[in-house]
Chain A
Amino acid sequence: MTESHEQRTPVALTGLREDDPRLQPAARHPETVERVIAISFVLGLVLFALFGYFFIVNAPAWTLGATLGGGMSLLGFGLVAWGKYLMPRGPFVEERHTLANSKADRDAFAAAIVERGGGVIKRRKMLGGLLGGGLGVFSVVALFPLLRSLGPMPKGTLFHTDWRKGSYAVDQTGRRIHQDDLTIGSLVTIFPEGTQDTDRGQAVDQTVLIRLSNADFVTQKGRENWAPMGYVAYSKLCTHLGCPVGLYEQQLELLVCPCHQSMFDVTNGAIPNFGPAPRPLPQLPLYIDASGYIRAQRDYDQPVGPGFWERS
C-alpha cells in the first residue's frame, strides 16, 4: 500500500534504525507543539505561584481551588501533549508469551501436591482429622470476640420504648405539654419526660402529637379513650425504614415520611394509604391529668419502627 501505511506497521522496539519513522514525533509541526506545551507549562507555573500567594493571604476557597486545579490541568495537558506528539510515534509491538507451562511442569506441580502432600495425609488420617477439627473449633470460637463483643444482644429492647404509665409528654426542650398548648391542626414532637435529651429518646421514643379536634377522638375501634380532647399521638418512626415521619399535611390529615413518601391517615389509626410502609404507625394511648397535662396511659402495644424477624 502507500508509504505511510508501511510506516504504520508495528515493529519491535529494539533494533530500530535511528532514522526509523516510528521513532519520529507524531506531530506534523513539532516546533508549534513545543511552543504550546511551553506556554501551558509556564501558565501552570504561574497559577501554582498564585496558589501560594492566595494561600498566604488566606483568600477565599474558590481561588485556591481555581489556581491549584488550573495549574494541575495545564501541567497535565502539556505532559500528555508531549507524550502524544513529541515522543516516538510507533506503533511498536511486543510478543505475548503463553502463560501456561508445559505438560511436564504442570504434572510435576500437581504431583508435588497430590503425591507428596496427599501421601503424608493419607498415612496419618487421624492426625489430619484432628487438625481439621481443631481448626474448625478455632474458627468458630475466634468469631466470638469478633462478633459478640461488638454489641449487646437485642433481647427485648426492640419491643419497648421508654413510655410508661403516667409518663409526661414533653417537647424537645423538656417542657410538659398542657391541654391548651396546641390549636386544632397543629402538631408537636413529644418524648417521655427525661428522655428528650438522650439518643435513645430521640431515636426510639419520639412521638408526634397532633390535635385533631376539641372533643375526644376515636381513631379506631377499641381505642375509644386514647385521644382525649382531640389529642392523638403516634410513633414518629416510619414503619418502612425508621425515618422520622416529619411532614404533616394538615388539610388531608396525613402524616408523610419524606424519605420514601409513605403516607399515614391520622384520623384512621395511621393506616398507610400510600407508599412502601407496610403497617400503621403505632398509636400511643393518652390521658389528660387533673392539672391538664398530657400523659401516656402506658407503652405502645407493639414494637415501633421498621419490621424485623422477631416481631410477631
Chain B
Amino acid sequence: MSNLATTRREKKANQGPYGKLGQALGELDDRLGVAKGGRTFLDKIFPDHWSFMLGEIALYSFVILLATGVFLTLYYVPSQALVTYHGSYLPLVGQKVTQAFASTVDLSFKVRTGLLMRQMHHWACDIFVGAIVVHMARVFFTGAFRKPRELNWTIGTTLLILAIVNGFLGYSLPDDLVSGTGIRIAYSIILSVPVVGSYLGFWVFGGNFPGAAIIPRFFILHVLIVPAIIVTLVTVHMVLLVRQKHTQFPGEGRTEKNVVGAPMFPVFMAKTTGFLFIVSGFTALLGAFAQINPIWQFGPYDAARISYAVQPDWYMGFLDGALRIFPAWSFMGFGHTIPLEVTIPAVILPGLIFNLVFAWPALERKFTGDHEMHNLLDRPINRPKRTAAGAAIFALLAILFIASSTDVIANFFHLSLNTVLWAMRFLTFIVPIVTYPVTYKICKELQGVANAGKRKTANVVTRTSDGEYQATPSPAYVDDVAHELEPTPVPAFITPGETESNERGVRTVDR
C-alpha cells in the first residue's frame, strides 16, 4: 500500500507506457492470457486480391439478413388463422386472409421502415446465395479447395444448400398466392420420392396439403433452426480459415510457406468494416429503389387460385427449369407409381449436382494423384480440364435457369411454346457439351500467349545525337514483373508428357 498513487502524475507513471488502455489489457491478460494470441491475430496477414472479397459479400449479406430478420420477427405473426384484413392497403380490405399474410402486409405499410427492412431482407437473401455461388466459383477455378482445405469446401457447399433451403422457407412465410404455389410444388416434390414420399409429405406438413402446421413450422425452421446451423458452420468456416491461413496467388516473394498481404489491424480491419458498410448501403439502396416481392399485389394464398408467369427466386430457377423441360415420363407398374417426371429433375438432379460438388476435391485427388499441400492458387488457364469441367456445370445450370422462363420467352419473342421447350431440351445437352472443349481450348491457347492478363508497357523511343531512333521497351509494371502470377509448373501427372517452355511467348503445346 506504500506505493498507492496519489497524484495524477504518479498514477500515469504506474500505468506504464501504454496508458489506461495498456493497463486494462494487462488486467485482461492476467485473467485470460490473451496478449500473445491477440498480437498474433492483429498481425495476421490477409492477401490482397479482389476475388477474396466475394466471400466477404456472402458473410456481410448474412449479417444484414440477421439484423433485418430480427426486425421482421418483431411484427410477423406465424399463424394460418384466418382474419379479415382491415389495413391501409385498400384493395385487400374486407378479404379473409391468414394472419401471416395480414401481418406481412401490415409490417410493410404500418411499421416505419418496415417495408425497407422487408425489401432489404429479401434482397440480402438473393445477394447472399449469389455471393456464395460466386465465391465457390472462385475457390473452384483457382483450386483453393485442394489439400488441406477440403473440409472447408464441404462446409461451404453445405452452407450453400442451407442458404437455398432457408431462402425458400423465408419466401414461403408471407403466405401469398405466389409463395403458396411454391409450397404446393415443394409438397408434390416430397410426395414424388419413391416408397416414403407420402409419409415424408404428411410429416413435414402435418397432414395432407396444405396441413395446418406449415407456416409455424417453416417459421421456426427459418428463424431459429437453419440460421443456428448456418451461424455454427460459418464460425467453423472462419476458424478453419484462420487456422489454415489464406491461399494466395503466386507472385513476388510469395511461396507455399508464407502469406503476403496487409495486416489484420488496422489495414484489413478498416477495409473490411468499410466493405460491410458498402454492402449494407447497397442493399439499403436496393430496398429503397427496387421493389421486390410485392405480396399485396399477388394477394393471399388460396389453393384453388393461381397467378400467371411467375418465377421463383433466382436460386430456385434451375429446379423449376428442369421440371418444365423434363418429359412426362411416369413409371407405373407393379401396383406402384414412380413420378419420374418429378423425381428425376427435382430430387435426383440436384442430388447429383451437389454430390458432385461435395466429391470434387476427392475426385480430383484421385484422378490427378495430387496429394500435396497447396497454398498457392492456380490460374484457371493452367488447369484447363478443371476449368472446362466447372464451366460445363455452370453452363448446364444457366440453361436450366433460362428454361424456368419458357413461357415468358415464348411470349416475348412471339415463338411457339413448343419451339422454346424443344430448344431448351436440346440446349441442356448441347451447351455443356460444347462448353467443355471450347473452354479447354481457350485455356490452352491462353497458356501460349505471352503476358496474358498483364498490362502492356510503353516503348520508349530515343533519338541519338546522330539522329538515329531507338525503341526500348520500358520496364514492366511493378505488379507485373516477370514471375508475378507465374504458374506453378503443371505437374506431369495432370497431362503426362506435356512440357512448358521456359522462353516466354513460345508455345510447345501440341496441336
Contact = CB atoms under 8 A, between A and B. Distances in A.
Contacts of A61: 113, 115-116, 288
Contacts of A74: 281
A295 interface: no
Interface stretch (B322-330, B380-388, B426-434): B322-330
Contacts of B258: 10, 93-96
Contacts of B323: 240-241, 260, 276
B327 A276 contact: yes
B281 A76 contact: yes
Interface stretch (B84-92, B210-218, B224-232): B210-218
B478 A258 contact: no
B252 A154 contact: no
Given A64-B116, A87-B270, A243 B278 contact: no
Contacts of A8: 252, 478-479
A53 interface: no
Interface string B245-287: 1000000111011111111001111110111111111111111
A247 interface: yes
Contact of B260 (A81, A83, A93, A153): A93
A65 B288 contact: yes
Contacts of A308: 191-192, 197-198, 201, 337, 339
B185 A259 contact: yes
A90 B271 CA distance: 14
B283 A69 contact: yes
B308 to A, nearest CB: 5
B4 interface: no
B306 to A, nearest CB: 4
Contacts of A88: 262-263, 267
Contacts of A81: 274
Contacts, number: 310
B212 A199 contact: yes
Given A82-B274, A278-B329, A94 B116 contact: no
B59 to A, nearest CB: 15
Contact of A75 (B198, B277, B342): B277
A69 B198 contact: no
B476 to A, nearest CB: 10
A44 to B, nearest CB: 9
Contacts of B193: 309
B241 to A, nearest CB: 13
Interface residues on B, range: 35 or more
Q: Which of A55, A147, A275 has the most CB of B within 10 A?
A: A275
A8 B42 CA distance: 22
B257 A95 contact: yes
B417 interface: yes
B153 interface: no
B285 A92 contact: no
Interface string B470-499: 000001001101000000000000000000
Contact of A78 (B191, B274, B286, B337): B274
Contact of B304 (A55, A236, A240): A236
B253 A200 contact: no
Given A13-B43, A66-B289, A172 B252 contact: no
Interface string B96-138: 0000000000000000110110011000000000000000000
Nearest to A242: B188
B148 interface: yes
Interface in A40-83: 55, 58, 61-66, 68-83
A191 B303 CA distance: 12
A192 interface: no
Interface in A113-164: 147-148, 150-154, 157-158
A200 B211 CA distance: 8
Interface in B450-480: 475, 478-479
16 contacts: A1-B475, A4-B478, A8-B252, A13-B45, A65-B288, A68-B284, A69-B288, A73-B277, A75-B274, A75-B277, A76-B281, A240-B188, A244-B305, A307-B342, A309-B193, A309-B337
The 7 closest A-B pairs by CB, nearest first: A65-B288, A76-B277, A79-B274, A69-B284, A73-B281, A83-B270, A307-B339
Interface of B: 43-45, 48, 112-113, 115-116, 119-120, 148, 181, 184-185, 187-189, 191-199, 201-213, 243-245, 252-254, 256-263, 266-271, 273-289, 302-310, 320, 323-330, 332, 335-339, 341-342, 375, 406-407, 417-418, 421, 475, 478-479, 481
Interface of A: 1-2, 4-5, 8-10, 13-14, 55, 58, 61-66, 68-84, 87-88, 90-96, 99, 147-148, 150-154, 157-158, 172, 189, 191, 199-200, 202-204, 206, 236, 240-244, 246-247, 258-262, 272, 274-279, 305-312
